[in-house]
Structure 1
């Protein structure tokens, strides 16, 4: 029975991945600074900034998933992400563990067409430059044959259990649950790709079981064509029993919000993803693994049902 270790336990993707691994009969180890106990699952407290703690946490692991999320602040990312990646790479090399890095798409920057695994890194934000740097660090190790690793890349996500970690969760489903009009950033009439969290979790597991996937970057499944914000909101309104309408938050207003809200200030540099089309192509993964992403109609329905069940 293989041991799968989740660095960044209790986060959105870790919570979706855990039942996938359990149903496949694998042993699971949850690692975070303050792990929440899960019955029948090993939990270890560790800080990924400290190599000795990471090494102890991954010892004996067949597969390690780097799912860590840190404070959404560019200065903290610049300081901590290179240390985290270096520490995890070295620990996995020492333990002989396969590494799967759950990455985002910030390093691509603004793209005029669909974003694929071969799209050049042209970050237009501080956080995008950080993600490009840590991705290149791992890519260099993979090219050198020093580590068995995979980069699994995703964009923003939605799904059951996703609330404050998703723009769709906060702006659409949570607002509708409160009887408010849905909101959207900057432009609700351009396509905006999303990953459905159950699909992302299943995809991560498929990658973990594939020898052919090693040493490569894979885009996790996202439905194509992407919906516009207005189309996404219409589907959500139908399932939430809410009014089909949207309040678009203009760019200037988000700038003002940033004067008073640190998170919105940090988000501002990423708003090219909402101002212009942001189409994420996962066809390579879909063809290789014979995987069909969950239709928006079905994913939105399941997400709405989860929100409606919350107190």
Structure 2
């Protein structure tokens, strides 16, 4: 049995499909309102804030994947994420279940320095501090040997379906809707993005590779690394339209934050769009050299070359 704690999001759904394709049909989906991806999926309705419910959801599992996503709300993150992590760790320790944690990069320094698995944490902002806390909880458990666990870390998403990110909502999603894209802060800073299916496929592979545990892994990305101007040039080629863009300065987000709570929440992340964002996945690519990585051109083409996006 392999169990997904926090089923229902884009990462979890694609993880479910990948596990079914290549690893096991014995899959349990856990969330408040889980839905089957395959007919054979086992559904468990549970609130991961409830320790007892989490314990029951994990019982009998060989591997549990913690993929919970919460809205961009700092207060909610501070209230819920640490408790959910503690409950998942306790349940996995009790039942001898391996734990795979899907993590992000918010705790990394806000610099152009290349991000590798051994980069130190330098959290700035409420959400970044929560992410540092979660990763540290996992690292402490792994170091102490209380559970067999692994951290799978990803940069900003882009991709199909329910994928949520600044790039998807402000840039690529608007192009798909024939709207002018809004580029946050800089069109010339290099961005590292991960294609969401790649992230899920790689996490399934790591979770089912025994010698991968006890480590942190950066999930695989295209190392070409484009800036927004270059991404939009590809979008123009794919759609057959001349796509212009508007660069949104930091002060405009500040004004928008007074009127829109969601905009205010993403202000914490904006300094990361000011300079290059270089996320390195060499460790993964060395260990799994045959893993197919979606290039930016391939990903953007998949997103925009559907019916209705041609001129």
Q: Provide the TM-score with structure 2 as the length reference.
A: 0.94
Distance 1:237 1:167, change over 3 A: farther
- Cα distance in 2 between the residues matched to 1:308 and 1:51: 47
1:8 aligned residue: 6
1:198 corresponds to? 197
Report how far residue 242 of structure 1 moved.
Answer: 3.4
**Structure 2 partner of 1:161:** 161
2:101 is matched with 101
CA-CA distance at 1:166 after TM superposition? 2.0
Maintained 8 Å contact 1:30/1:41: yes
Name the CA shift for 1:306/1:61 in 2 (closer, same or farther; >3 Å). farther
Is residue 28 of structure 1 aligned with residue 27 of structure 2?
yes
Change (3 A) 1:299 1:206: same
Shift of 1:41: 1.2
Q: How does 1:198-237 map to 2 (within 5 A)?
A: 198-237=197-236
- 2:63 matched to 1:71? no
User: 1:226-245 deviations in whole A, cap 9, x for unaligned?
Assistant: 11011112212322343322
Q: How many angstroms apart in 2 are the aligned matches of 1:191 and 1:140?
A: 33
Partner of 1:146: 146
Is it true that 1:304 corresponds to 2:279 in the alignment? no
Task: Provide Cα deviations, 1:63-95, integer angstroms capped at 9, x if missing partner.
Answer: 111000123111221222111110000011111
Whole-Å separation in 2 of the counterparts to 1:133 and 1:308: 44
Question: Equivalent residue of 1:160, what SS?
Answer: coil
Contact 2:176–2:303 (Cα < 8 Å) also in 1: no
Asked if 2 retains the 8 angstrom alpha-carbon contact of 1:158 and 1:166, the reply is yes
* Residue in 2 that maps onto 1:293: 293
Q: CA deviation at 1:292?
A: 4.7
After the TM superposition, which segments of 4 or more aligned residues of structure 1 sit over 3 Å from their partners?
A: 305-309
Q: Judging changes above 3 Å, is the alpha-carbon distance between structure 1 residues 273 and 137 closer, same or farther for their aligned structure 2 residues?
A: same
Name 2:260's counterpart in structure 1.
261
Deviation at 1:307, TM superposition (A): 8.0
Pair 1:158–1:308, CA change in 2 (3 A): farther
Is the contact made by 2:9 and 2:162 (CA closer than 8 Å) also made in structure 1? no
Q: What is the root-mean-square deviation of aligned Cα atoms in Å?
A: 1.6
Q: Which stretch shows the higher mean deviation, 216-225 or 286-295?
A: 286-295
What is the CA-CA distance between 1:303 and the residue it aligns to?
Answer: 2.0
Q: Which moved more, 1:207-216 or 1:241-250?
A: 241-250
Superposition pairs of residues 74-85 of structure 1, within 5 angstroms: 74-85=74-85
User: 1:110: which partner in 2?
Assistant: 110
CA distance in 1 between partners of 2:16 and 2:90 (Å):
24
Match status 1:132 vs 2:109: no
For 1:169 and 1:70, how far apart are their aligned partners in 2? 17
Following the alignment from structure 2 to structure 1, what is the Cα–Cα distance between the partners of residues 260 and 298? Answer: 34
Q: Mark the CA change 1:84 to 1:307 in structure 2 (over 3 Å): closer, same or farther.
A: farther
2:77 aligned with 1:59, yes or no? no
Q: Give the CA deviation at 1:25.
A: 4.9
- CA separation in 2, counterparts of 1:20 and 1:68? 18
Task: Look up the match of 2:44.
Answer: 44
How many pairs are equivalent?
A: 306
TM-score by length of 1: 0.94
The gaps in structure 2 that reach 5 residues or longer are none
Partners of 1:306 and 1:156 in 2: CA distance: 23
Q: 1:117 to 1:178 in 2, by over 3 A?
A: same
CA contact (8 A) 1:172 1:236 kept: no
